Amino acid sequence: MTGLLSALLYGVLSIDHFALGPFLLSRPLVLGALLGTLWGRPAEGLALGLLGESLWVVVPPAGPSQWDTGLAVALACVWAFSPGVAVPGDSPRGAFLATAFLASVPFAVVARPVDIWLRRNTRVLADYARAGFNHGVSGPFWRGLVFSMVLWGFKSLVVFFVAETLGGALCGAVFPRLTGPLAEGLDQAWRLWPALGAATLWHLFFGRLGKNWKSWCPSRGPA
C-alpha cells in the first residue's frame, strides 16, 4: 500500500511542470521529504532529496537537457525503504541508500523521451483550445487542460511502475552482495552526497540573493 501511495504521490506532483506551470512540487527535495515521511524515514528521505537537488540544479525541469530527477528520488525512496529488501545485517545503511539512488538515475534519464513523445502527441489539445479561443469560448481550453493533466498523470504512473519493477529486481539482486570494501566505499560516498546537495542549494540561494540585493535597496539618486 505504501508503494502504491508513493506512485500516486509522484504521479500527482509530476503534473506541475506540464499543465499547471513550474510550481516545483515535483522537485527532488519535496518528493524526498514527503516520501521519506510516508515510509517512516523522514531524515533519509530528506537526504535523498538533497542529493537529487544537487543534480536538479544542473538538470533543470525544463530545456533540452531535462531529465526527471524527481523520479530518481521517488524510485530510490521506494527501493531503499521497502521492508522486503534483503539487506545484510553487517552492511552500512548508507551503502544501500547510495546504491538505490545510483540505480534510479538511468530510469530517470530514459523517462525523458517518454515525456517528449507525450508532449508532441498532445499538441492537438493546444490546437483545440486555440480554436475555442478564436470562437470566443473557454470550454475547449479547460477540457483540454484537464485531459492533458489526466494523461500526464497516467504516463507518470506507468513510467513509475515499470521503472520500479525493473529497478526493484536489479536492487534486489545487488543489495545482498553489498559487503566488504564496496559497501564501505558506498557508505562513505553517501556521507558526502547529501552534504553536496545542501551546499548546492546554499550556493544557489545566496548566489541569487547576492545578485538581486541591489534591486531591493532604495536608490539614493545622483549625489
Q: Which three cell numbers stand for residue 41?
A: 524515514
Cβ atoms 76, 48 nearer than 8 A: yes
Domain annotation covers residue 213:
no
* Cα–Cα distance, 12 to 45 (Å, whole number): 18
Neighbours of 215 (CB within 10 A): 7
Domain annotation covers residue 153:
yes
Domain annotation covers residue 34:
yes
Query: DSSP of 116-135, one letter per residue?
Result: HHHHHHTHHHHHHHHHHHHT
In terms of C-beta density within 10 A (0-12 exposed, 13-18 middle, 19 or more buried), how is residue 36 classed?
buried
Domain annotation covers residue 223:
no
What pLDDT is attached to residue 139? 74
Q: What is the mean pLDDT of each run of 10 residues along the chain (223 residues)?
A: 86 73 74 92 90 72 66 91 68 82 88 82 75 74 78 87 88 79 81 76 65 55 49
DSSP state of 62: S
Cβ atoms 160, 108 nearer than 8 A: no
What pLDDT is attached to residue 222? 52
What pLDDT is attached to residue 223? 46
Collapse the DSSP code of 84 into the 3-class scheme (helix H, G, I; strand E, B; otherwise coil) and give the result: coil
Domain annotation covers residue 210:
no
Cβ atoms 159, 116 nearer than 8 A: no
What pLDDT is attached to residue 22? 55
What pLDDT is attached to residue 64? 53
What pLDDT is attached to residue 38? 92
* Cα–Cα distance, 185 to 98 (Å, whole number): 10
Global pTM reads 0.78
Cβ atoms 158, 111 nearer than 8 A: no
Count: domains in the chain: 1
Domain annotation covers residue 201:
no
What pLDDT is attached to residue 155? 87
* Cα–Cα distance, 76 to 82 (Å, whole number): 10
Domain annotation covers residue 208:
no
In terms of C-beta density within 10 A (0-12 exposed, 13-18 middle, 19 or more buried), how is residue 10 classed?
buried
Domain annotation covers residue 19:
yes
Cβ atoms 19, 25 nearer than 8 A: no
* Cα–Cα distance, 153 to 115 (Å, whole number): 11
Residue in this structure with the C-alpha cell 522537485, named with its chain if needed: 27
> What is the domain extent for residue 158?
2-195
What pLDDT is attached to residue 218? 54
What pLDDT is attached to residue 77? 92
DSSP state of 20: I
